[in-house]
Amino acid sequence: MPWLSLSIAVPLLAALLCALLPACARGAPRLLALGATAVSLACLAVTWARFDTGRGMQLVEHAAWIPTLGVSWRVGVDGMSLALASLTVVLFAVSIVYGVGPRPLSRAAAGMLLLLEGSTLAFFLAEDFVVFYVAFDLTLVAMYFLIALWGEENRRYAAIKFFLYTLVGSLPVLLGIIALYLDSSPHTFDMIRLAREHPLAGDGLSASLVFLAFFVGFAIKTPLVPFHTWLPAAHVEAPTSGSVLLAGVLLKMGAYGLIRVNLQMLPGAFHRYALAVALLGLVSALYGALLALAQSDLKRLIAYTSINHMGYVVIGVAAAAATGISGRARNLAIDGAVLQMIAHGLVTGTLFFVAGFIKERAHTRDLRQLSGLLRAMPWYGSLTALAFFASLGLPGLAQFPAELEIFLGTFDVYPAIASVAVVGIVLTAALFLRALQQAFMGELPERLARLPDLRRREVMAVAPLVALFVALGLYPRLVLYVIDSAHWLAGGL
């Protein structure tokens, strides 16, 4: 069975089906979306079972698509793909449970979520560059509509900004893809071959330009300072589930591309620019934390911490690029970077839910107007505290082992950068603790006293995420044994 193709095709077909559902079937879109996601999850579970941790890219499924152009449907998994695809399905499942827009989930909302799910999975599993690019742009369209249709007050502005930035990022990627294609011989869009053969290896200027084209595209998506200005707008204006998916899954596409393309296919050029990239990552980590420190809107604060956390990922990738072909530090940094992507997806997903829950109850997310919430809503308060601690990197929760690995890997190559980056952790710790103190401790004002605690639907949405980030914190090998970059980073099959 083509399990990987199936995991992509089922959500996409279900999205089409949503358009054809009769308007009177009110619960049907939600059931359809959940069913399709369950099938995807099952397909990936089978893939986990069949996955051989001792090998790199594997379980490749291949079918001709446009042979004259050299384009084929080619999907496969290595540790990074499998981990990120699994994260994707989990986050979509909880987002569908929580819903988007009016309840029950409308046909249009279910269709958009499923389109986004299918294309995101296709992006992480694609091993053909055209499929990769098609998926990249489809996520852009689906996310645009999710923000523009069901977002908050300034949704139009945020949606167009998101569209514009991502399009500006995706087009250089297209040029880079064509350049790699034309430089391979025989010409190919096969990402597995390109990762093994390193086209453009001998050509300094072309390789640098192609590296830059890909880097700009992925840096916008990640996002790295100074390409980050779309992020706060999009995250704040998106509906709750939209923010969860945006931060949890879509940001990972940038970092994934950086590893999959820049690091694996253009290692020589990346080696040359590793220090610059690491410095950009450092600036992002620190600047993101500083900006977050200045926020009083909880959602905005979380959005900025994403810049900080993704900055660590980029530092790790750059450190790996600087070490050359192999080495323990290199694998440590990449393992950490991928684990950080997973952990950040789970933790920040939870955080955006937390921000959505309070907005729904108190009609504000302004930390200065909130106080004593722990007493009014003990379950909600505890959940928030746990997610805050996870995000600031408390040992025992998922982001701790990830950040530790990144710092250990980076310390070998860029001790100064690693040391300064730690300041970012201190800053995030400070801002989360301050937020906790402001909103959850202290006096409980009268107007907030009767807020209802977590509802069943909300618990169902966050419980899987919390369970996973706690489990990963206690036993990171759960995912690390799959990620295991030593087996795929060099590009072998």
Partner 1 sequence: MSPNGGTFTQAQRAEHEMLKELVWLSPIGALTLAAAGAVLLAIVLPHRRQALVAWWVGAMHLAAAGLAAYVWLDRGFRLTMSGTIAVDGLSLVFTALVGVVGAVCVALLRPAVAGTDREGELYAMLAFASLAAVVLGAAADAALLALALAALGLATFVMTGYRRASPTAGEASIKYYIFGTVSGAAMVYGLSWWFGLGGSTSFAVIGRALPHAPAVAVIASTTLVLVGLGYKAALVPFHFWTPDAYDGAPLPVAAYLSVVPKLAGLIALARVMMLALPHNTVGWPTAIAVIAAATMTLGNLAAVAQRNVVRLLAYSSIAQSGYLLMGVAALGHSHLGLAALVYYALAYAATNLAAFAVVQAVQRERGSADLDAFRGLGRSHPWWTAALVLSFLSLLGLPPLSGFFGKLEVFKAAIGAGQAWLAVIAILNTVVSLYPYLRVIAPAILDPPDPASLPARRSAPLSLALVVATTATVGFGLLAEPLVNLADHARMLTGG
**Which residues of the chain form contacts with partner 1 (CB under 8 A)?**
64-69, 130, 133-134, 137-138, 140-141, 145, 148-149, 156, 160, 163-164, 167-168, 171-172, 174-175, 178-179, 181-182
If the CB atoms of residues 168 and 290 are measured against partner 1, the closer one turns out to be 168
For partner 1, the closer CB: 63 or 478: 63
CA distance linking residue 232 with residue 304, whole number of Å: 7
Q: 77 or 180: whose CB is closer to partner 1?
A: 180
Helices marked H in 184-293 = 191-197, 204-221, 230-237, 240-245, 251-257, 264-265, 267-293
Q: Alpha-carbon distance 216 to 202, whole Å?
A: 22
Closest separation between CB of residue 63 and partner 1, Å?
12
Nearer to partner 1 (CB atom), residue 133 or residue 380 = 133
Q: What does the buried/exposed string (b/e) look like for 188-218 if buried means 16 or more CB atoms within 10 Å of the residue's CB? A: bbbbbbbbbbbbbeeeeeebbbbbbbbbbbb
- Other beta carbons within 10 Å of 368: 10
Least Å distance, CB 161 to partner 1, is: 11
Work out how close the CB of 93 gets to partner 1 at its nearest, in angstroms, rounded to a whole number.
26
Q: Which is nearer to partner 1, 66 or 426 (CB)?
A: 66
Quick one: 10 or 122, whose CB is closer to partner 1? 122
Nearer to partner 1, 130 or 347 (CB): 130
Residue with Cβ nearer partner 1 (230 or 432): 230
Nearer Cβ to partner 1 (151/223): 151
Residue 306 C-beta: closest distance to partner 1, Å:
25
Q: Supply the minimum distance, in Å, between the C-beta of residue 168 and partner 1.
A: 5
Least distance between partner 1 and beta carbon 191 (Å): 16
Tell me how far CA of residue 231 lies from CA of 43, 236, 375, in angstroms.
32, 8, 33
Identify any residues that bridge with 73 across adjacent strands, giving them in sequence order. Answer: 63
Per the CB < 8 A criterion, the answer to whether 335 and 308 are in contact is no
Minimum CB distance to partner 1, residue 10 (Å): 17
Residue 464 CB neighbour total at 10 angstroms:
17
Backbone φ and ψ for 61, nearest 5 degrees, come out as: -110, 140
Q: How far is the CB of 442 from partner 1 (least distance, A)?
A: 41
**Separation of alpha carbons 493 and 78, rounded Å:** 9
Q: Is 62 helix (H, G, I), strand (E, B) or coil?
A: strand
Closest CB to partner 1 among 119 and 350?
A: 119
Residue 124 contacts residue 88 (beta carbons within 8 Å): yes
How far apart, in whole angstroms, are the C-alpha atoms of residue 333 and residue 404? 9
Residue 384's contacts (CB-CB under 8 Å, 6 or more residues apart) are: 354, 373, 436, 440
Token output for 47: 């893939």
Smallest separation (angstroms) from partner 1 to the CB of 19: 8
Indicate the residue among 171 and 429 with the shorter CB distance to partner 1.
Answer: 171
Question: Are 281 and 255 within 8 A, CB to CB?
Answer: no
Q: How far is the CB of 174 from partner 1 (least distance, A)?
A: 7
In the complex, minimum distance from the CB of residue 223 to partner 1, in angstroms, rounded to a whole number: 17
* Rg for the chain, CA atoms, rounded: 21
User: In which region does residue 198 sit, left (phi positive, over 0), alpha (psi from -120 to 50) or beta (all else)?
Assistant: left
CA distance 206 to 298: 44
Residues with Cβ within 8 Å of 298's Cβ and at least 6 positions away in sequence, in order, are 354, 355, 358, 365, 366, 367, 435, 439
